[in-house]
Chains A and B, each alone.
Chain A
Amino acid sequence: MSTAPYAGARWGSIWLWLAFAIAMLAMPRIFDSGLSITMLSQMGIAIIACLSYNMLLGQGGMLSFGHAVYTGLGAFVAIHALNAWCAGSPALPVSLVPLIGGLAGMGFAMLFGYVTTRKSGTTFAMITLGLAELVFAMSLMVPEFFGGEGGVSGNRVVGAPVLGISYGPAVQVYYLIALYTLVCVVLMYAFTQTPLGRLLNAVRDNPERVEFIGYNPQRIRYTAFIIAGFFAGISGGLGALNFEIVNAEVVGAARSGAYLLFTFLGGATFFFGPIIGAVLMVLAFVMLSELTKAWLLYLGAVFMLMVMYAPGGLASLIMLNVRLARHGKMRALLPAYGLLALSVSGCALGFSALVEMVYHRQLDAAMGPVLRFLGLALDTSSVLHWSGLLVYLGVAIRSFAWTRRRFALQWNVQHQIMEDERLRAATAP
C-alpha cells in the first residue's frame, strides 16, 4: 500500500513540534562555538526558505528558478527598514524586521506571481528564470536600493534593549531565528492541511481536471505563490538581521539554484524533506567548501545520482526504510546494505581521489606534485599513480554495479513479501 504524502490532520503532532523546539533550544548549548552558532542561525533561515520553496515545487508542481528573488528582495527591504525605522521614534522593534521582509516578499510575489503563475510547467519555469535574471540585472542598475557592489549594511543593535535583549551577541539572534523558524514551520505544515493546500496538490497532479471541479487553477497557484513569497521574505529578513549586510548575491541565480538543489536533495514529496535539505545546504556551504576546493563538483555529482536513483530525495529514502523496518524486513536486507555501503564508499573514495588529483595538478602545482589524500601520498606526476587509480576506480564501479543489482533484487523480494502479507491480511476473514 502506498503511503499518502501530507497525510495528517491539523497542526501535526504536538510532541514532534516540542522535540523540534527543544532541539533548537538545546543546539547552541551543545555546539557553542561562534562558528556553530552562525551555522545554526543559517540553518534556521535556510529551513524557512526551502520549505517555502517546496510549497511551489513539491506541493504545487511549480519548478521555480527564481525563488531567491523573494528571499533576496525581502532581505533588502528588511535591511532598509532596519536602517530607516529602528533607530527612529516611534521605533520599530528589531524583532519585527523579519516580518517586514515577509510583507515585502509577499508584495513582490503578488506583483511578479501575477505574471508567472498564469502558466504552469515549462513555461512557468522559463518565466521565473527570466524574471530572476531581470531582478539581478536591476540590482546592478539601481544602486540606491541594492547598494551596488558593496551591498547595504545595517546595524541590528539599535534602539533600547527589550527585556535585556540587544541582539548584540550572535546567540540572541539565533534564538530569534529559532522562534521564527518554529512558528513558520508549524504554519507551513498547517497550510498543507487546509482546502487550499490540498487543491494545490490537485493542481500539481492535474490542473485541467481542477477546472472541471469548480476551481480556477491559476488562482490556486497565484495564492500559494503569494503565501510562499511571504515565508521566503521572512527568511530573507532573518538573513539581513543575521549578517547585517545584504548584497546583490542574495537575489542571484546561484542562490535560487541552491534552494532548488537542496530542496530536491532533501525530498520534495514529504513535508519534512526540505528541512533535511536546508541543514545539508548550510553544512555543504560552510564545511564542505572548507574541506575541498572541488565541493561544487561533488555537490553536482550527488545531485545527479539522486535524480537518477532516488528522485524522492533523502526523505523518501528514509520513509521507505522506516516502512521496511516497521514490517520487520530490515534484518534480511542488512548484509546487502553492508555490501552496498562498502562499494559506494569504495567508489566515492576513488572518485574523490581522482578529482582531488586533477584539482591539485591544475591549481596547486606550485606546492609540488605530491598530494596528501586521507593519509595517502598521491603523486600527480606519476603515471603509475594515475593508472593505478583508474584501474581501482574501474574495479570499484564494477563492484558497485554488481552489489547494486544484488541489493535491488533483495529489496524487491522483501517488498513483494510485504505486499503479499498485506494482501493476505486484507482478504483474511
Chain B
Amino acid sequence: MTDPMRVPALQLRDVRKSFGKTEIIRGTDLVVQSGERVAIIGPNGAGKSTLLNLISGRSPLSGGDILLHGQSIQGKKPFEINRLGLSRSFQITNIFPKLSVFENLRCSVLWSMGYGYSFWRFLADLHDANAAALALMARIGLARKRDVLAMDLTYAEQRALEVGITMGGGANVILLDEPTAGMSASETSHFVALIREAAQGKTLLTVEHDMGVVFGLADKIAVLVYGEVIAFDSPEAVRADPRVQEAYLGSAVADAQADAAKRRA
C-alpha cells in the first residue's frame, strides 16, 4: 500500500474552497491509493459534497491542487476530468428523465468506447456499446425496465440508474455522493451489495451518513469536520481516535459496528 513508486489514484494537496468570504474547505490533504475504498464522513455542513464537487470539477478550486493519477485537474472541465477516468454520482438524482433506461445507460458508455460526437453511424450498429449497456442494465437490476422512461421509475430504481450511469464509462475512480440517501433499510442493504460488486477493483470515494453503509463499503474512513480532514485511517483506528470522538461521532460508530457485528453473527 505504501509503495513509493506507485502513483496514488487521487491526491488532494492543501485544497481550499471559499464561497464569498466563507471558507468551506480549509486546506484539505488526502491521498487515496488506487483500489482503496474510502468513505468521507462528517457532520452536516462539513463540506463533504463540496469536496466531491471540487474533485469532479463541478466547482473550481479556490486554492491548492488535486491530482488524478498524478495529473493536475486544476481548471479542467467536468467532461475532461471524466475522460481522465473519474466518474461521479449525485446526491439528488441526476439522470435523463425522458430517455429509456437502456438509452440512459447507452449514453453513459458512448465516450469511453470512442464513439465521440459521431453522426455518421447508427447506434444500432454499435454492438459493443449496446452489449455494455445491456450488461450494465442487468448488473443494476433493471433488465426488466429496459424501455421504461427514467422518469417513470421508482425512486430506488432511479438511484440504481444513477449509479449505473456513473459506472458506465468504465472510470477507475468513482465518487458516490450519498448513494443510499432516501432509501429504506432493505433497499439500502441490497444497494450496498450492488455497489460493492460494481466497484470491484476500482478506487471508491463515498460520502455517506449511514454508518451501516460506511462499514459495508469502506476500508478507510476520512473524517471531515469544518473543512478539514481530522482523521484518515481504518474504521477501527478512526473509531479509537479521541479527536474524532470529541469532534463528532464516537457513539454513532460504536452503534453501527455493534449492529454490523450482530448482522454478521
Residues of A near any B CB (own CB < 8 A)? 1-2, 4-5, 7, 9-10, 190-191, 193-199, 201-202, 204-206, 208-216, 219-220, 223, 227
- Say yes or no for B4: interface residue by CB 8 A criterion: no
Residue of B nearest to A204 (CB): B98
Q: Mark B93-135, 1 if CB is under 8 A from A, else 0.
A: 0111111100100111011100111111111111000000000
- Say yes or no for B33: interface residue by CB 8 A criterion: no
Whether B77 contacts A205 by the Cβ 8 Å rule is: no
Q: Given the complex, which residues of A lie within 8 Å of B115, measured CB to CB?
A: 195
Whether A209 contacts B96 by the Cβ 8 Å rule is: yes
Q: Given the complex, which residues of B lie within 8 Å of A196, measured CB to CB?
A: 117-119
Q: How far is the CA of A206 from the CA of B108 in the complex (A)?
A: 13
Whether B111 contacts A198 by the Cβ 8 Å rule is: no
Q: How far is the CA of A223 from the CA of B110 in the complex (A)?
A: 17
Expressed in whole angstroms, the minimum distance between the Cβ of A113 and any Cβ of chain B is 14
Whether A211 contacts B98 by the Cβ 8 Å rule is: no
- Say yes or no for B155: interface residue by CB 8 A criterion: no
Whether A213 contacts B165 by the Cβ 8 Å rule is: yes
Residue of B nearest to A194 (CB): B119
- Give the 8 A-B residue pairs with the shortest CB-CB distance, closest first: A214-B111, A196-B119, A205-B96, A211-B78, A194-B119, A10-B122, A214-B82, A4-B100
Q: How far is the CA of A2 from the CA of B145 in the complex (A)?
A: 11
Chain B residues 55 to 106 lying within 8 A of chain A, measured CB to CB, are: 56, 77-79, 82-83, 87-88, 90, 94-100, 103, 106
Residues of B near any A CB (own CB < 8 A)? 56, 77-79, 82-83, 87-88, 90, 94-100, 103, 106-108, 110-112, 115-126, 147-149, 152, 165-166, 168-169
Extra A-B contacts (15), CB below 8 Å, given A9-B124, A212-B88, A219-B117: A4-B100, A7-B100, A10-B124, A195-B115, A195-B117, A197-B119, A198-B123, A205-B96, A209-B94, A211-B78, A212-B56, A213-B111, A214-B83, A214-B110, A227-B119
Chain A interface mostly = helix
Q: Given the complex, which residues of B lie within 8 Å of A201, measured CB to CB?
A: 96, 98-99, 103
Residue of A nearest to B107 (CB): A202
Q: How far is the CA of A201 from the CA of B103 in the complex (A)?
A: 10
Whether A190 contacts B122 by the Cβ 8 Å rule is: yes
**6 A-B pairs with C-beta separation under 8 A:** A194-B123, A195-B118, A196-B119, A211-B82, A212-B87, A214-B82
